[in-house]
């Protein structure tokens, strides 16, 4: 019963506040009629406004706290909304992927070969084995050419009007040029969720129905950030590759193993976050607990 006390008191306070403020309004009305003092009239007006708005505010707060109390009770019984259920499922997926990355890393550090999978999408290299099929977000880093239309302003009339029209045209052209420059500058592009295969020879990504191969032997720089759930690879003749998502640490572990060797699995700064177990999925609190 204690958890209901707050919203119940707010609910009871609403009619009490209405009665109290209306009583003040009647008293001030009486004084105003006796003294003809404008101050009492203004006080009456303020009391009437308070009689209207204060109960409404109290009722709204009461409803908010009542809903929060109900949601806490439902959660305690294991009854979640669809949004809460999706949040828990999303958290469980992230935790499972994190523990999978930790397990793969531990197996490789122990010089054991992780389990392999059989796939029929990509033709394998000789002696190539595939370890995982992951769902990740793909992007590439590059600049591009962006065309924009530059307008010409023609105006006649008074000098002030002509100058103003020319200034507006110049501002519009400068704005279009600035937007085109920003769009053309190097940045991560082509964002899309996709399937990714990880093998002992390469990373293979499905980009719009076309499988792109990124061999470990062609990587010239790599930035595995398990704590940020990202893997960035640079190549001598191709634009950088970004893979991100819950399962990115799994790809990062295999990539580090194949490019730096087994010792790097223990020492690489980008994999140190995997020393910590996954956080169990949880929901944010419903309002402020009382």
Number of Cβ atoms within 10 Å of the Cβ of 204: 21
Q: Are residues 11 and 122 in the same domain?
A: no
Tell me if 139 is assigned to some domain.
yes
Most confident option among 23-32, 38-47, 197-206: 197-206
> Residue 188's closest CA among 136, 232, 149, 139?
139
Q: Are residues 178 and 48 in the same domain?
A: no
Q: Are residues 95 and 198 in the same domain?
A: yes
pLDDT for the residue numbered 288: 56
Q: Band of the pLDDT at 141, cuts 50, 70, 90?
A: very high
Cβ-count burial 212-245 (b if 16+ within 10 Å, e if not) = bebebeebeebebbbeebbbbbeeeeeebbbbbb
Chain-centre distance of CA 131, in angstroms? 29
The mean predicted confidence, pLDDT, of the chain is: 85
pLDDT for the residue numbered 118: 94
Q: Are residues 104 and 220 in the same domain?
A: yes
Q: Are residues 135 and 194 in the same domain?
A: yes
Report the CATH number that the domain containing residue 205 is assigned in CATH: 2.30.29.30
Domain total of the chain: 3
Of 85-89, 138-142, 183-187, the range with the lowest mean pLDDT is 183-187
Task: Say which residue, 249 or 69, is predicted with more confidence.
Answer: 249
Of 134-143, 164-173, 181-190, the range with the lowest mean pLDDT is 164-173
Check pLDDT > 90 for residue 33: no
pLDDT for the residue numbered 51: 87
Enclosing domain of residue 11: 2-76
Q: Are residues 170 and 65 in the same domain?
A: no
Tell me if 287 is assigned to some domain.
no
pLDDT for the residue numbered 202: 97
Residues with Cβ within 8 Å of 87's Cβ and at least 6 positions away in sequence, in order, are 281, 283
- Angle at Cα 70 formed by Cα 66 and Cα 74, nearest 5°? 170
Check pLDDT > 80 for residue 7: no
Check pLDDT > 50 for residue 163: no
Asked if 256 and 264 touch (Cβ cutoff 8 Å), the reply is yes
> Residue 4's closest CA among 57, 48, 65, 71?
65
Q: How much is the pTM?
A: 0.70
Structure tokens at 147: 């065309």
**Residue range 98-122, pLDDT digits in tens:** 999 999 999 999 999 999 999 999 9
Tell me if 283 is assigned to some domain.
no
pLDDT for the residue numbered 289: 47
**Residue range 46-62, pLDDT digits in tens:** 888 888 899 899 889 88
């Amino acid at each position: 019963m204690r958890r209901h006390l707050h919203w119940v008191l707010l609910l009871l306070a609403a009619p009490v506040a209405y009665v109290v403020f209306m009583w003040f309004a009647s008293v001030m009305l009486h004084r105003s009629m006796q003294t003809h003092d404008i101050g009492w009239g203004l006080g009456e007006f303020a009391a009437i406004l308070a009689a209207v708005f204060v109960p409404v505010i109290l009722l709204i707060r009461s409803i908010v706290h009542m809903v929060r109390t109900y949601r806490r009770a439902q959660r305690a019984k294991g009854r979640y909304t669809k949004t809460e259920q999706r949040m828990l499922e999303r958290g469980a997926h992230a935790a499972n992927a994190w523990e999978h990355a930790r397990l793969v890393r531990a197996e490789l550090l122990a010089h054991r070969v992780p389990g392999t999978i059989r796939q029929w999408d990509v033709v394998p290299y000789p002696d190539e084995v595939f370890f995982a099929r992951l769902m990740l977000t793909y992007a590439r880093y590059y600049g591009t050419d962006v065309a924009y239309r530059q307008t010409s302003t023609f105006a006649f009339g008074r000098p002030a009007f002509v100058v103003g029209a020319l200034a507006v045209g110049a501002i519009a052209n400068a704005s279009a040029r600035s937007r085109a420059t920003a769009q053309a500058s190097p940045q991560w592009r082509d964002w899309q969720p996709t399937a990714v295969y990880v093998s002992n020879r390469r990373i293979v990504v499905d980009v719009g129905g076309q499988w792109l191969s990124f061999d470990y032997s062609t990587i010239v720089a790599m930035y595995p950030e398990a704590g940020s759930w990202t893997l960035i690879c640079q190549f001598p003749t191709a634009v950088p590759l970004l893979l991100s998502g819950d399962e990115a640490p799994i790809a990062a572990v295999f990539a580090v193993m194949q490019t730096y060797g087994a010792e790097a699995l223990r020492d690489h700064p980008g994999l140190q976050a995997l020393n910590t177990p996954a956080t169990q999925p949880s929901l944010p609190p419903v309002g402020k607990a009382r």
